[in-house]
A and B are shown apart, each in its own frame.
Chain A
Amino acid sequence: MTDLTQLGIKPLRDGVALGEFTAREVAEAFNAAVAGAAALNAFIVTTPDHALDAAGKVDADRAAGKPLGAMAGVPIGMKDLFCTDGVQTTAASHILEGFVPRYESTVSQKLWDAGAGMLGKLNLDQFAMGSSNETSHFGNVSSPWRRAGTNAPMSPGGSSGGSSSAVAARIAPAATGTDTGGSIRQPAAFTGICGIKPTYGRCSRWGVVAFASSLDQAGPMARSVEDCAIMLGAMAGFDAKDATSLKMDVPDWAAGLDGNLAGKTIGIPREYRMEGTDAAILESWERGKEWLRDAGAKIVDVSLPHTKYALPAYYIIAPAEASSNLARYDGVRYGLRDLPDGAGLQDMYAETREAGFGDEVKRRILIGTYVLSAGFYDAYYTQAQKVRALVARDFEQAWAQCDLILAPTTPTASFPLGDKSDDPLAMYLNDVFAVPASLAGLPAMSVPAMQNADGLPLGLQLVGKPFDEQGVLNAGLAIEQRAGFAAKPERWWC
C-alpha cells in the first residue's frame, strides 16, 4: 500500500472520497509519523485523538453518503498561535503555559468544519517573534534539512517553524501558519514547501493570539500550490468577530488554478537586488523569470523606491503594536502569575512578565514602549506609519506596469541554529524581502525554486494586488510546474 504520509491534501482528500483508503488510516499513519519525529521538536503538544475523531466522522459521513468537505480526511498541524477549544494554546511562551481556551479560533473551526483533523499544536517562535524558531519556550525546532555533508541542526525559519518543519518532514500533509512580516513565506522557503499569506483581512484573526494586529494574517503551508489553494479556501471568509475582516466572497481558488500566464506582466523590483544577497538566490530569481516567461508572461523592470525603509518601519510598527497587545498578560485573567510573598499588584505584574516572557519578546515590548512614549511618538511611530504609506504607494504605482511581482523570498538559504541568535539585527534582515508586502497588506506566496550548492532549498516569492490571491497562486503554479522541485530531506530524525 502507498505510504500515505507522502501524500498531500488533494490526493489524501480524493483518496478518502474514492474509498482508496479510509480517513482513519490516514490519521493513524500521520499520528505514527508525528510520534516518531520527536527529534524535530515541531510539536508542543500532540492530539492524536483529535485527528482520529475527525477521521471517524469523515468515514461515517462517507458511509452515509453525506457530502464531504474540502479538507475531509486530511489531518493537519495547527500553529500554537490559534486558540483551540480544550487544547493548550501557548504561543510558545511560558506566560501562556497551561492556558486551555474555552473557545475555538474562527480559522481552526472552519478547517474542522471542512473535515480536517488536528495532529497537534505546532511549535513557533515565542508570540511569533523570530525568524529562526529559536525563541520558543519549548525549545528550538530543527529543520528536516541539513547542509550536505554536515549534521548541524538547521533553522526551519520562523516564526511558523514547527509548521514548515512538519510539512517538509512529511509528518503533516499541511499546517496553518501566520505571517506578520514573513512568518509563513520565510519558513516555507527555508524548507522547500509552499506557503501563502492572503490579503490582509481574508482570514479572521479571531482567536489568534495577537502580535501586531495591523499585519497579522493566517495562511496555509503545504507541499503544493494546489494544496495551498484548497486549504486557503477553507480558512478564508468574512467573520463578524474580527473588525478588520473583509466582507467579500471567497473565490474557488483551487478551481481557478491556471498556470498559463499569457497576457500577464510580471514586475521585477530593482531595489530587491541588494548587496550581500547570495549568488544562488540571484540565480533562482533569474530562473524564475525564465519560467514565468515560458508560461507566457511578459517580464518588466519596476521600481519600489522605499524598499530599503520597509524593514526599519516594520521594526517600529510591529513592536509598537506588540507592546500594546501584550499588555494583556498581567497574571490576572489567564496564564502565569508570579506573586512573591507580600507583593502588591504592581509587583505581581512586573514579576509575572519578567518570568513569563522570553528575551526577544521583552526586547520588542521595550522597543514598542519606547517608540510610543511621550516625546518620541511622532519621531518614531508617526514617521514609520508615513513610511508605511509610502511603501504601499510604491506597490500601487507598480501595479500600473505589472500584475504581479517576482522576487526572492529570503536573502539567504537556511542557516544552522545558533548562527544568528546573538545578533537581533542580523536576524531581522532575514525578512527584508518579505516585509514590504506585509506592510502593504498584499497577498504573497513562496514556492520552492531550487537547491543551492549545499543542497538547501531556496524559495521564490510572488506578490499580488489586493484580493488577487488567484493571480499569485497561478504564477506560483507556473513556477512549480517548471521548477520540478522534488527534493526531500533525508530522514535522520527517526
Chain B
Amino acid sequence: MSVDKATVTKIASLARIRMSDGELERMAPELSQILDWVEQLGEVDVSGVEPMTAVIPNSLRLRDDVVDADPLTGGGRREDILANAPAAEHGFFAVPKVIE
C-alpha cells in the first residue's frame, strides 16, 4: 500500500509539521517506497509470538519517597528550567493566546 499526497498531508498535520505543496509532492513517493519495503514484515509467521516490550529483562524501580531525593531531578529549579525558553514571563513558559 502506498501513501498519496492527501495521506501525507494528514500525517504531517497529526505530527504538527507544516509542509509546502512541493514538499508533500516530494515526500509522498519517498514515504511510499519506505512503507512498501517494510511491508515485507507481513510475510513473517508471528503466531504465538508476544510483541517485545523490554529488550533486556528489567523491573521498574520505585525511588525513595523523599523530597528532592536527587537534586538533579528534584524541584526548586525554575530558573534552570526556564533558562532556555524562547519566551518566559512571571516564572512561566509563555505561549500565544490560546483562549479568546
A31-39, A176-184, A312-320 - the one binding chain B: A312-320
Main secondary structure of the interface of A (DSSP, over half): helix
Which residues of the other chain, B, contact A243 by a CB distance below 8 angstroms?
60-61
Partner of A333, one of B12, B58, B72, B93: B93
Apart from A199-B56, A201-B58: 7 A-B pairs, beta carbons within 8 A: A240-B63, A241-B70, A312-B41, A330-B16, A334-B85, A367-B35, A424-B30
The smallest C-beta distance from A371 to any residue of chain B, in angstroms, reads 8
Alpha-carbon distance A390/B52, docked complex (angstroms): 9
Alpha-carbon distance A378/B12, docked complex (angstroms): 21
Alpha-carbon distance A350/B7, docked complex (angstroms): 17
Q: A240-B70, A380-B38 are in contact. Are A366 and B12 (CB under 8 A)?
A: yes
Which residues of the other chain, A, contact B93 by a CB distance below 8 angstroms?
332-333
Alpha-carbon distance A459/B58, docked complex (angstroms): 32
Q: Which 5 pairs, one residue from A and one from B, show the smallest C-beta to C-beta distance?
A: A385-B51, A441-B55, A337-B86, A334-B84, A102-B80
Chain B, residues 19-49, CB within 8 Å of chain A (1/0): the string is: 1000000010011011101111110101001
Which residues of the other chain, A, contact B41 by a CB distance below 8 angstroms?
309, 312-313, 316, 380, 383-384, 387
Q: Is B14 an interface residue (CB 8 A)?
A: yes
Chain B's interface size range is 35 or more
- B46 and A387 contacting across the interface, CB-CB below 8 Å: yes
Chain A, residues 178-194, CB within 8 Å of chain B (1/0): the string is: 00000000000000000
- B96 and A309 contacting across the interface, CB-CB below 8 Å: no
- CB closest chain-A residue, reference B15: A369
Which residues of the other chain, A, contact B67 by a CB distance below 8 angstroms?
none
- B49 and A386 contacting across the interface, CB-CB below 8 Å: yes
Partner of B83, one of A102, A201, A346, A425: A102
Which residues of the other chain, A, contact B27 by a CB distance below 8 angstroms?
362-363, 366
Q: Is A421 an interface residue (CB 8 A)?
A: no
Which residues of the other chain, A, contact B61 by a CB distance below 8 angstroms?
240, 243, 247
Partner of B95, one of A102, A312, A348, A385: A348
Alpha-carbon distance A392/B70, docked complex (angstroms): 35
Q: Is A474 an interface residue (CB 8 A)?
A: no
Alpha-carbon distance A388/B56, docked complex (angstroms): 12
- A440 and B55 contacting across the interface, CB-CB below 8 Å: yes
Show the binding face of B for A, using Cβ within 8 Å.
Answer: 3, 7-8, 11-19, 27, 30-31, 33-35, 37-42, 44, 46, 49-56, 58, 60-61, 63, 70, 72-73, 77, 80-81, 83-87, 93, 95-98
- A366 and B11 contacting across the interface, CB-CB below 8 Å: yes
6 residue pairs from A and B, CB less than 8 Å apart: A100-B83, A243-B60, A334-B84, A336-B86, A365-B17, A373-B11
Which residues of the other chain, B, contact A308 by a CB distance below 8 angstroms?
40
Alpha-carbon distance A330/B16, docked complex (angstroms): 9
Q: A333-B84, A390-B44 are in contact. Are A425 and B3 (CB under 8 A)?
A: no
Q: Is A345 an interface residue (CB 8 A)?
A: yes
- A344 and B44 contacting across the interface, CB-CB below 8 Å: no
Which residues of the other chain, A, contact B35 by a CB distance below 8 angstroms?
367, 370
Partner of B55, one of A366, A370, A392: A392
Which residues of the other chain, B, contact A387 by a CB distance below 8 angstroms?
41, 44, 46
Q: Is A382 an interface residue (CB 8 A)?
A: yes
- A386 and B95 contacting across the interface, CB-CB below 8 Å: no
The smallest C-beta distance from A285 to any residue of chain B, in angstroms, reads 25
Q: A240-B63, A246-B56, A306-B44 are in contact. Are A353 and B86 (CB under 8 A)?
A: no
- A385 and B37 contacting across the interface, CB-CB below 8 Å: no
Partner of B34, one of A214, A382, A424: A424
Max count, chain B CB within 10 A of own CB: residue among A309, A383, A392? A383
- B96 and A389 contacting across the interface, CB-CB below 8 Å: no
Chain A, residues 222-239, CB within 8 Å of chain B (1/0): the string is: 000000000000000000
Which residues of the other chain, A, contact B52 by a CB distance below 8 angstroms?
385-386, 388-389, 392
- B17 and A354 contacting across the interface, CB-CB below 8 Å: yes
Q: A241-B70, A332-B85 are in contact. Are A344 and B8 (CB under 8 A)?
A: no
- A246 and B58 contacting across the interface, CB-CB below 8 Å: yes
- B80 and A389 contacting across the interface, CB-CB below 8 Å: no
Q: Is A200 an interface residue (CB 8 A)?
A: yes
Which residues of the other chain, A, contact B44 by a CB distance below 8 angstroms?
306, 309, 383, 386-387, 390
Partner of B31, one of A199, A336, A353, A370: A370
Alpha-carbon distance A344/B84, docked complex (angstroms): 21
Alpha-carbon distance A440/B56, docked complex (angstroms): 8
Which residues of the other chain, B, contact A386 by a CB distance below 8 angstroms?
44, 46, 49-52
- CB closest chain-B residue, reference A389: B52
- A337 and B87 contacting across the interface, CB-CB below 8 Å: yes
